[in-house]
Structure 1
Amino acid sequence: MQIYGNRWCLRTARLLATALLLAWSLAGHAQEPETSAEEIPDDYYRAEFIILERIIDPESVNEQMSDRAVETAPETEELLWSVAQDGTTESTLELVPDNELHLNSAAQRLERSGRYHVLVSAGWYEAFPPDYEGKPLRVAIGDWLEGAGVREIEGTITIDRQRYLHVGVHLNHWQQSDDMPVSVPSEPATEQTAAEPTTDSSVENETADSDIGSLATGRDTAKAKPPVPLELLTWIRETRRMRSEEIHFLDSPTIGVLVFFKKIETTE
């Protein structure tokens, strides 16, 4: 009789423990916010960018761009990644931790290779519906050039969407020079150049593996000289259509940009 009593007590204790665990579990889930398909916007993506610098002697760069003036960067208050003179970083985006990024492993491999230095690893969630016109995102990274008061790599990255996502990368890689910059000869002004400066739009459609020399063939009629004593080392001028779930690489001899978009699917 005692044996059956012990068994009953043990069984009762197990049932009571199971009931308590179930109640605790249900209470915990009730406190968590439920995520439904209605809460996730349409065309919702995780955008990921890695900006890297090739470890290369500037003297080995074949492109001669030191006397080239560049277009003034568009005014923008949006920041992808900006490093102030004191080293503090700022971004207007709600960036996610690096360990959540698909490109995180790629960034680690690049660093371990000893040939690249990753300057930016950033990702965030955003809806990119059709006809989305994104604001330029400011980038200011790399070494601080004391004489000019700027970072060595600066420019903008813009995300747009027509039928497909497009990313426009306009980055300049500056170096400090002891020489005064050479003035760029200007052509006599004409009615066309004075009223409507023309540019060669083909520079925005080059592929990532193109030599930077081919990216620098466009005419820059609306120009502004960089602050003294800067000289241009290389640049990226490219707009690329992006397929989600694919890694895209845009580069120059000294800098590169890895891009990845992850479509966030809704669940009922």
Structure 2
Amino acid sequence: MIRMPMTRSVALALSLALFAVSAPARAETYRMDVIIFVDLWASGSEAGTPPGAPQLKGAIDLDDVAKLRAAGIEILPEDQFALMDQYNHLRYSKQFKPLMRLAWTQKDPPQERGPALHIRIGGSADGATPPLVDGSIAMLLSRYLHLDADLAYQQDGQSWALDERRKMRRDEVHHLDSARLGILAQVSKAGGGADDTTP
């Protein structure tokens, strides 16, 4: 059998192919900016339900830096918040009232419900006064990026849920809402450029 000499270009191509197969997947980091707001003009015709305990399995408190870091999550300072135009529009609106603005980055979001952020707005630390909003939000990544929100808004002994999983197109502002509570959210590639093709 005659052996043909392997050219340098063929050897290089084979080496690169083997490296591509054996190299671990590159970690991806995404950023989420979220505004949680209430509709002050919401119709009273849609009655709420008696307040109940939110589902908080896997939810991490926003001030638990160690657990957040272990989950690949970093809460960004308020001066880095990206949706200030939208926040100010809600702030000066007569109909809507922003309750929280939050931005974070997350490395390799899970495909299914994994680490989530515990959202608690208002209420007393000792639990004597219930929070106005309680629940969790999470970033997920399967084929597409998703925002998974499980929040309850409580007022006057009634509770209204915002329980939705929304597919997110990068760099677009998305609106999730319920009878009383709403979310504006935008996901982007942390440090990514315009040539990135990830959905």
Asked if the contact 2:136/2:150 (under 8 Å) is kept, the reply is yes
Asked if the contact 1:119/1:142 (under 8 Å) is kept, the reply is no
CA drift of 1:261 comes to 1.0
Unmatched 5+ stretches in structure 1: 1-40, 81-89, 178-230
**Residues 230-249 of structure 1 mapped to structure 2, 5 A cutoff:** 231-232=158-159, 234-249=160-175
CA drift of 1:249 comes to 0.9
Q: What residue is the counterpart of 2:32 in the other structure?
A: 47
Unmatched 5+ stretches in structure 2: 1-25, 69-73
For the pair 1:153 / 2:155, whether they are aligned, the reply is no
Measured against aligned partners, the alpha-carbon deviations of 1:113-134 in whole angstroms (never above 9, x if no partner) come to 2322222111122223574753
CA drift of 1:141 comes to 0.5
Q: What residue is the counterpart of 1:257 in the other structure?
A: 183
Q: 1:77 to 1:44 in 2, by over 3 A?
A: closer
Q: What residue is the counterpart of 1:163 in the other structure?
A: 143
Q: What residue is the counterpart of 1:202 in the other structure?
A: none
**Residues 4-23 of structure 1 mapped to structure 2, 5 A cutoff:** none
Q: 1:102 to 1:175 in 2, by over 3 A?
A: same
For the pair 1:78 / 2:4, whether they are aligned, the reply is no
Kindly, what percent of the aligned residue pairs are identical?
A: 27
- Alpha-carbon separation, structure 2, partners of 1:128 and 1:148: 38
**Residues 53-202 of structure 1 mapped to structure 2, 5 A cutoff:** 53-56=38-41, 60-67=43-50, 72-76=54-58, 78-80=60-62, 90=63, 92=65, 94-128=74-108, 131=111, 134-142=114-122, 149-177=129-157
- Alpha-carbon separation, structure 2, partners of 1:55 and 1:105: 20
- Alpha-carbon separation, structure 2, partners of 1:105 and 1:44: 24
CA drift of 1:91 comes to 5.8
- The list of structure 1 runs, each at least 4 consecutive aligned residues, that deviate by more than 6 angstroms after superposition, is none
Higher helix share: 1
- Alpha-carbon separation, structure 2, partners of 1:95 and 1:170: 19
Aligned length: 161
CA drift of 1:42 comes to 3.7
- Alpha-carbon separation, structure 1, partners of 2:122 and 2:101: 13
Bigger radius of gyration: 1
What amino acid maps onto 1:46 in structure 2? R
- Alpha-carbon separation, structure 2, partners of 1:151 and 1:76: 19
CA drift of 1:148 comes to 5.2
What amino acid maps onto 2:179 in structure 1? P
- Alpha-carbon separation, structure 1, partners of 2:84 and 2:38: 16
- Alpha-carbon separation, structure 2, partners of 1:53 and 1:91: 26
TM-score w.r.t. the length of structure 1 is: 0.52
Structure 1 residue matching 2:161: 3-state secondary structure: strand
Computed over aligned residues only, the root mean square deviation of the Cα atoms, in angstroms, reads: 3.0
